[in-house]
């Protein structure tokens, strides 16, 4: 697939200036990110755009956040996306970037009650284009460089047909008198506060809510120790200590002796074991 590659801030600024000079106002947009799957934390890794003529791959790992905001926070560019909520959350919480002026087509899938509501299924139903679903890219390490051409093709497929899909969907929503509910849902997506409550990282772990208050305090200490060492080793926290093991440690101090750390764990195991034992006393 032919595409323009942008891997520096001058290139992105130049593209945006030319975009404005041409009087354009709409793009299809998607991102790929790392979310505690291969490394510690969340990180924007790839930006895919289709502007009606050109497909673009932007490497955000080589561009500063201020320049990226010129794209994402530009209110004069309508950004057609699909199921934007997770992308909005990741960018807000990992980079303090807000995506402005969004048209999210995912609410239309609910309103129009498609049998299958994932993007590829909706594209197949409405446009008759059947995209290969490559499951291996669902867990792809998008931080790796260079990004393979097959991975880029996969990523660009998620934006290549969004503008055409938008035209079909808006016409169908209008015909079914569903356009206003769709617009309302989009405003709700845009106006939602995506800043995460720091307490969520504890509360969302299964079993935490059932702990006594004193055990919750211990759980947080154990949880924070895991976070500390995951960050030091640049590993996903669940690869250091599994979620289920966190609760087992809190409920049974002897379970610490049964923990098996992965080979990638580069720290002195006695250090983390000592901190865990101290935390649960």
Distance CA(156)–CA(98), nearest Å, equals: 22
CATH number, domain containing residue 166 = 3.30.420.10
pLDDT in the model for residue 261 = 86
**Integer Cα distance of 165 and 120 in angstroms:** 11
In this structure, are 146 and 232 located in the same domain?
Answer: no
pLDDT of 136:
78
Angle ∠(37,131,62) on CA atoms, nearest 5: 45
Looking at residue 128, its pLDDT comes to 97
Domain enclosing residue 263, as ranges: 200-279
Token reading at 276 = 């865990």
Clarify whether residues 31 and 125 are in a common domain: yes
Q: Which residues lie below 8 Å from residue 143, measured CB to CB, with a gap of 6+?
A: 34, 38, 39, 43, 45, 61
How many Å separate Cα 2 from the centre of its chain?
25
Q: Are residues 230 and 206 in the same domain?
A: yes
Q: How many domains does the chain have?
A: 2
- Report the alpha-carbon distance of residue 260 to residue 102 in Å, rounded: 45
Integer CA distances (angstroms), 156 to 58, 101, 128, 161, in order: 11, 21, 18, 9
**Cα-to-chain-centroid distance, residue 88:** 8
Other Cβ atoms less than 10 A from the Cβ of 176: the count is 12
Of the residues 164, 191, 218, which one is the last residue of a structural domain? 191
In tens digits, the chain (281 residues) has pLDDT values of 799 999 999 999 999 999 999 999 999 999 999 999 999 999 999 999 999 999 999 999 999 999 999 999 999 999 999 999 999 999 999 999 999 999 999 999 999 999 999 999 999 999 999 998 777 788 899 999 999 999 999 999 999 999 999 999 999 999 999 999 999 999 999 999 999 998 898 888 989 999 999 999 999 999 999 999 999 999 999 999 998 899 999 999 899 988 888 888 888 889 999 999 999 88
Do 184 and 266 reside in the same domain of the chain?
no
Q: Which of 115, 114, 122, 102 lies closest to 183 in space, CA to CA? A: 102
Give pLDDT, residue 135: 76
* Residue-level pLDDT at 276: 94
pLDDT score, position 133: 73
Residue with tokens 């290139």: 11
Q: What is the pLDDT of residue 265?
A: 83
DSSP structure class, residue 264: T
208 and 256 assigned to the same domain: yes
Q: Residue 96, class by beta-carbon neighbours within 10 Å (0-12 exposed, 13-18 middle, 19+ buried)?
A: exposed
Same-domain pairing of 105 and 8 = yes
């Amino acid at each position: 697939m032919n595409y323009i590659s942008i891997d520096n801030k001058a290139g992105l600024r130049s593209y945006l200036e030319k975009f404005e000079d041409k009087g354009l106002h709409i793009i299809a947009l998607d991102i790929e990110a790392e979310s505690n799957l291969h490394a510690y934390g969340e990180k924007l890794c790839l930006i895919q755009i289709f502007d009606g003529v050109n497909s673009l791959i932007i490497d955000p790992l080589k561009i500063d956040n201020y320049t990226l905001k010129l794209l994402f926070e530009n209110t004069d560019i309508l950004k057609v996306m699909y199921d934007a909520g997770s992308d909005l959350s990741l960018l807000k919480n990992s980079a303090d970037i807000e995506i402005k002026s969004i048209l999210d087509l995912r609410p239309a899938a609910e309103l129009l009650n498609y049998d299958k509501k994932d993007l590829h299924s909706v594209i197949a139903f409405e446009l008759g284009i059947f995209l290969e679903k490559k499951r291996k890219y669902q867990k792809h390490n998008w931080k790796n460089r260079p990004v393979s051409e097959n991975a880029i093709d996969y990523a660009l497929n998620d934006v290549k047909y969004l503008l055409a899909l938008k035209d079909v969907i808006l016409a169908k929503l209008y015909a079914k008198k569903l356009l206003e509910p769709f617009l309302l849902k989009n405003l709700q997506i845009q106006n939602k506060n995506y800043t995460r409550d720091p307490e969520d990282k504890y509360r969302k772990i299964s079993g935490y809510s059932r702990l006594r208050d004193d055990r919750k305090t211990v759980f947080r200490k154990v949880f924070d120790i895991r976070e500390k060492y995951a960050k030091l080793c640049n590993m996903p926290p669940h690869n250091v200590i599994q979620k289920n093991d966190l609760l087992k440690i809190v409920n049974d101090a002897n379970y610490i002796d049964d923990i098996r750390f992965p080979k990638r764990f580069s720290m002195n195991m006695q250090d983390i074991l000592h901190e865990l034992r101290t935390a649960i006393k």
